[in-house]
Amino acid sequence: MIKPRVDVILWGRRDTYVKLIRDTYIYNKDGSIRTPNEPIKLGQTPNTWEVDGLRYLWIPKDKKAELFYHIVKSDPWVETRDGYIKASDVKYYFGEKLKPENTESSVEK
């Protein structure tokens, strides 16, 4: 079972944070779902993540590219650390706004 964590937000820093707006999964860099039996539920802690990248990943199951935020490697929640969360499942919360590091067409197979 995924255990909740207490969110720590450091106001005044240039870090970027996103906030969950719907139930979702955490993905690996290869586009596979990291925790297929344990979705992240809206209202379950954490609801915010520190992110350090925005990039398109190819999702083999859906046969399409989607935009994802990269969760920082130092995230205190082990299950999400260094994972990816769909940009469509979160909204920008605060910090530096990120731009995609690649294009949708660069990851299409």
40 domain residue, yes or no:
yes
Domain encompassing residue 26: 16-107
With beta carbons less than 8 A apart as the criterion, state whether 68 and 85 touch.
Answer: yes
Q: Is residue 96 part of a domain?
A: yes
Q: For residue 93, is it within any domain?
A: yes
Residue 21 falls inside a structural domain: yes
The string of pLDDT tens digits covering residues 75-103 is: 888 888 899 999 999 999 988 899 999 99
3-class SS of residue 82:
coil
Cβ-based neighbours of 24, under 8 Å, separated by 6 or more: 39, 40, 85, 86, 89, 90
5 is a domain residue: no
The answer to whether position 86 is within a domain reads yes
55 pLDDT band (50/70/90 cuts)? very high
pLDDT tens, position by position, 18-50: 999 998 899 999 999 987 777 887 777 668 889
Q: pTM for this structure? A: 0.83
What is the pLDDT, as a whole number, of residue 13?
57
**Identity of the residue numbered 9:** I
Judge whether residue 7 has pLDDT over 60.
Answer: no
In a domain? residue 9: no
Number of domains in the chain: 1
3-state helix, strand, coil in the chain (%, to 5): 5, 35, 60
Indicate whether 10 belongs to any domain.
no
